[in-house]
Structure 1
Amino acid sequence: MSDYSDVLIIGAGFSGIGAAYRIREQNPHLSYTILERRERLGGTWDLFQYPGIRSDSDIFTLSFPWEPWTRKEMIADGGDIWQYMADAARKHGIDRHIEFNTRVISADWDSATDTWTVQTEQGGEAKTYRGRFLFFASGYYNYDEPYSPPFPGIEDFKGVVVHPQHWPEDFDYTGKRLVVIGSGATAISMIPSLAETAGHVTMLQRTPSYMLSLQRVQPVINGIRKVLPRRVSHAVARVILSLFGSVLWLVARKAPTFSKRLLRSGAEKYLPEGYDIDTHFTPPYNPWDQRLCFILDGDFYKAVGRHDVDIVTDHIDHIDATGIVLKSGRRIDADVIITATGIQLQALGGVTVSIDGEKIDPHDRFAFRRHLLEDVPNAAWCFGYSNASWTLGADMTARSVAKLLAHMDAHGYTHAYPHLGDVHMAEQPVFNLTSGYVLRSQNVMPKSGDRRPWEVTHNYLRDAVGKRFEDIEDHMVFGRATTASAPQAQSEAVG
């Protein structure tokens, strides 16, 4: 494959595969290459291999709108999601455009030729790619370094310490005492699975999380799928469930007291009578101030009710050779400590980005329409929603970029970028959450303005409707290169 492509896509997860499909769909004459640092496609769904890994949103909105999900589950296991992605990429010929084991180090824009030069490391050797447009489909967290707080004394622990992001292959914890530190989506999804073979599991949390029990298999959705053709039923399921998610979020924000009562009633339904819900399942914040955790058919509550899982709400004082000593004076003996303590955010996949040799800091730039960066030419970053399936935002971004590329091609433009100019714009964070991983990374992400199209909203329905009325040239600068660019690759056959 040529080292020049019209579009270079960084990352072969949901965002990258979706971008490739949408770009080729609207621009069949454009060549593209996907640069993937791992040995396989899948992104998150190839990286995370811990027990119980599954989607933390429904699979119908997480899956591609152009490739129906065919299994019966509404909440899908990680392995099945990976296989679905691999099958979709192979079916549409996208896998033939992926360069695996290719880590992108830097990208530099040349304003004279309107070309990106991308430096990569491929099997220990340097390789250069060039392209007209750069699409960052690399997510927003650090694949190499999860968040690991400095627990005092952890170096003295004689057992095994594991972070879910780097789960050891074939790790045997049968009959062992496990302590899972954390109460987020990762801990909630893995604990019921761990409890099936571990001797005992303790979840140690500083503060609880809100949990909502969902059915793994949704009879109503599957009933619709039996009646309607596959592609139609897939679209209908996506609409229904995106509406459900949006309404759930809206009710939580507008009626927090009602939402608290509703979520508490779910806990009461499954937990033993008299269980201390106030301490262990009542967070000190409103629903959706942090992400809501989904559990399947009450599995987490049921494991607690069977005494397979203990919940301890406390703070760590220190860790010693055989366990954890808490601020309250209590200790928890452990054979394995699992630090489900979260992720670290990272902009643009950690790639060093420069314009004419001058490095840029993403945090210095406003985001535009959720996917472009202020005064950064021919570059998009796929950025999902905090309260909805990632792919809802990813597909919207992919279609917008495909439309932009078609517009540039139709008018003979070789560069395009959003420009704020001298307009004063108030700043606000791109995330509307109080989660630790968000608060720790406020100086990492691009800035959000306080009004459209510079505001990063987390209202999918509003964005989906608003996209239909956008003027593609509003706040945008278009132009042509002053000198000839690199020779373009030959057009590739569709598929």
Structure 2
Amino acid sequence: MTTANDTTTDRVLDLLIVGAGIAGIDLAHHIVSEFPGWSWEIVDSNDDLGGTWNTFTYPGIRSDSDMASFALPYKPWPHKGTLGDGARIKEYLREAAREDGILQRIRLSTWVKRINFVTTGANADAHGPHWEVTTVRAWRHGPDDRPDAADDAGAETVTRTRRLHMACGYYDHRAGFQPYFDGQEDYEGQLIHAQQWHPDEQRDVAGRKIVIIGSGATAVTLLPALAEDGADVTMLQRTPTWVAALPRFDTISTIWTTLIPNKRAAHKVARVNHITRDMVQWYLAKGTPFLFSGFLHALQLRWLTPTQIKRDFTPPYKPWDQRVCKAPGGDIFAAIRDKGAKVVTATIDRLVPEGVRLSDGTVLEADTVIAATGLQLQLFGGAEVAVDGRSIDPAQTVAYRGVLVSGLPNLSFTVGYLNQSWTTRADLTARYMVRLWHHMVNRGETVAAPVVPGDDVGRRPLLEFEAGYIKRSEHITPRQGDRSPWLYRQDYLREWPELSRGDLTEEMVFDDAAVDVARALPAVAGQSVGAPTR
């Protein structure tokens, strides 16, 4: 439904990509080379490209995967570090977008509010079935700005597109998970979530007493960065996390670039080498956790005592039940040994005026408390989903190969791996979609959708992982099935044959049959996002 302030474009795009992060830029690269005649755009709710690497700006922000596999497969990472820092990743993505001529196709500060698949009415008659994508002008400059805040009294724009790809990941970029702490109103210092850290406001930390609450990748990154900047910093954790010390520089990539003069060829070989190594390590961790954990602890002995390791770096769960954090050069351990950084494993009683009081009565004094308490997930950037104006609950659908959604035609999405680099699956997804679109173009088909699987296909969570941010959000995502093609495997080596060579028609329907499947989807009771525009 439109208002007097709305603008609806008559043009129908061939493709709209939502998200100008690494997944969106990777897919756009393939569109440039494979479908040069297509009309397409990218929209992003942020004020610059880069996705996570634009919105997350806390000290030390870096990748948690090696850059040989996290970098775009067609563009070698130009720096030598094993992991990449946030600012460099963002500029690397900008350079990649510039080289492909993508920058002029990106509409920033544009939040997708609603997606509606239109099968009836004058517009469907004129253009065929397509997606109406309602966007709101948005901005994000400070911690209180929200992507649903409109610049112009709520004016909306509706863009029509035949194909829609959600490359916006599954993080809520507005805010992380911020639990309430008893007594936080009494605390006299500054309480912030790591996701809301803004460098201009938090520039000088030297000499400040800082307590980080959390033990995941964000906390493991913050501790050494703040210690290096001169803060008196303590990481307060309820439960330890597995942390692996990595070489500071990427030895594998160095070897292959020495042996292979062509940079792109060397990058591809190093990428395969890293992916294979990561999967072997993952299988070892799952199959022989005592060996893998012993190896991690042996590395930590370079910096820590056995008592410290047992108390602060020995979780009660097996490696890769949750993500193993990375410490290049063992920086977190070196910060503890050499910089006076501290790790405290305890539970919180409450916040008091001077800091954090633990359950045993100890008070950790703090000028600043940083909540590194995890992320919040959202599906499709928080957009409502509808068919002919009827609201659809995506949690009642089933993901097809972890790329498409049962019953929703010409809608695809990117979700990365939880146990290895996000980019490996983002690129695999892009290549799969290119294969499907070529297949459809060659057969003269314009609409495709996975069928709605019957009761013979079991249902289970899409993201099967024990991390808190995953568990908190299981109810908002599509399910996955218990057999192919409804599986989303956390295994690049097993998924690669299926996504790059598998049958494109298995449990798929096309054109009129795909439209019928969409129309048959049950609407959310009592909800509607309005009739399709005329």
**1:46 shift after superposition:** 0.5
Q: CA deviation at 1:405?
A: 1.4
1:2–1:56 distance in 2 versus 1, CA, 3 Å: farther
1:36 aligns with 2:44: yes
Distance 1:401 1:469, change over 3 A: closer
Give the corresponding residue for 2:312: 280
Structure 1 match to 2:115: 107
- The whole-number CA distance in structure 2 between the counterparts of 1:183 and 1:128 is 42
Q: Map Cα deviations across residues 188-242 of structure 1 (whole Å, 9 max, x no partner).
A: 0121010022341100000000011111212342132133201100101100001
- Residue of structure 2 aligned with 1:53, choices 61, 70, 74: 61
1:467 aligned partner: 499
CA displacement at 1:334 relative to structure 2: 0.5
Name the counterpart of 1:485: none
Which amino acid in 2 is paired with 1:165? Q
8 Å CA contact retained: 2:460, 2:482: yes
Shift of 1:96: 1.3
1:148 aligns with 2:162: no
Query: Given the alignment, which residue of 252, 255, 259 partners 2:292?
Result: 259
Q: Structure 1 327/128 Cα, relative in aligned 2: closer, same or farther at 3 Å? A: same
Cα deviation code 1:331-368 (max 9, x no counterpart): 11110000000001111111101011111111111100
Superposition map of 1:429-440 within 5 A: 429-440=461-472
Is contact 1:32–1:97 with CA below 8 Å preserved after alignment? yes
The equivalent position to 1:245 in structure 2, one of 259, 273, 278, is 278
- Choose 113-122 or 215-224, whichever is displaced more: 215-224
Q: Tell me the CA shift for residue 314 of structure 1.
A: 0.7
Q: How far apart, CA to CA, are the structure 2 residues paired with 1:47 and 1:395?
A: 22
- Distance in 1 between residues matched to 2:109 and 2:474, nearest whole Å: 30
Looking at both structures, which has the greater relative contact order when contacts are Cα pairs under 8 Å and sequence separation is at least 6? 1
Question: Which of 414, 438, 444 is 1:406 aligned to?
Answer: 438
Is the 8 Å Cα contact of residues 112 and 134 (structure 2) preserved in structure 1? yes
**TM superposition score normalised by structure 2:** 0.88
| Aligned match of 2:368 | 336
Task: Name the residue aligned to 1:137.
Answer: 167
Q: Deviations over 1:348-399 (max 9, x none)?
A: 1111010111111111111001110110110001011100111111001111
Q: Provide the TM-score with structure 1 as the length reference.
A: 0.94
Decide whether the 8 Å contact of 1:76 with 1:216 is kept in 2: no
Counterpart of 1:121 (choices 110, 132, 136) is 136
Tell me the equivalent position of 1:492: none
C-alpha RMSD of the superposition: 1.6
Structure-to-structure mapping, 1:347-386, within 5 angstroms: 347-386=379-418
Given that 2:10 and 2:160 are in contact with CA atoms closer than 8 Å, whether structure 1 keeps it comes out as no
Distance in 2 separating the partners of 1:279 and 1:109:
54
- Which residue pairs with 2:141 in the alignment? none
Query: What is the CA deviation profile of residues 125-175 of structure 1, one whole-angstrom value per residue up to 9, with x for unaligned ones?
Result: 321111000000111011112100111111211111121111123212221
The amino acid of 2:168's aligned partner reads: S
Gapped regions of structure 1 (runs ≥ 5): 483-495
User: What does 1:152-191 correspond to in 2, within 5 Å?
Assistant: 152-170=182-200, 171=202, 172-191=204-223
Q: Which shifted more, 440-449 or 336-345?
A: 440-449
Q: Which amino acid aligns with 2:440?
A: M
CA distance in 1, matches of 2:252, 2:310: 33
> What one-letter code is carried by the residue in structure 2 that aligns with 1:49?
T
Instruction: Measure, in 1, the Cα distance between the counterparts of 2:12 and 2:196.
Output: 34
- CA drift at 1:26: 2.1
Aligned-partner Cα distance in 1 for 2:252–2:288: 27
Q: Deviations over 1:305-330 (max 9, x none)?
A: 12521111111110011111111221
Greater shift, 29-38 or 232-241, is seen at 29-38
Q: Partners of 2:464 and 2:159 in 1: how far apart?
A: 36
Given that 1:178 and 1:198 are in contact with CA atoms closer than 8 Å, whether structure 2 keeps it comes out as: no
Deviations 1:252-296 (A, max 9, x none): 11111111111111111221x454321111000000000000001
- Cα deviation code 1:81-138 (max 9, x no counterpart): 1110000000110111101111111010012431111111124332111100000011
Residue 15 (structure 1) aligned to one of 18, 23, 41 = 23
State the shift of 1:24 in Å: 2.9
In 1, are the aligned partners of 2:228 and 2:339 still within 8 Å (CA)?
no
Aligned to 2:267: 234
3-state DSSP of counterpart to 1:117:
strand
One-letter amino acid of the structure 1 residue matched with residue 274 of structure 2? L
CA contact (8 A) 2:376 2:469 kept: yes
- Structure 1's 280 and 421: CA in aligned 2 closer, same or farther, altered over 3 A? closer
Residue 282 of structure 2 aligns to which amino acid in structure 1?
A: W
What letter corresponds to residue 132 of structure 2 in structure 1?
Answer: T
Residue of structure 2 in register with 1:62 after alignment: 70
Equivalent residue, structure 1, for 2:419: 387
Paired positions, count:
481
CA distance in 1, matches of 2:51, 2:330: 29
State the SS of the aligned residue for 2:343: strand
Residue 2 of structure 1, CA deviation: 8.0
Structure 2 residue 303 is matched with structure 1 residue 295: no
Give the counterpart letter for 1:111 in structure 2: T
Instruction: Give aligned-pair identity as a percent.
Output: 38
Match of 2:454 among 422, 436, 445: 422
Q: 1:227 to 1:102 in 2, by over 3 A?
A: same
Q: Distance in 1 between matches of 2:471 and 2:21?
A: 26
CA contact 2:300–2:309 (8 Å) conserved in 1: yes
Give the distance between the partners of 2:378 and 2:188, measured in 1 at CA. 32
Partner of 2:3: none
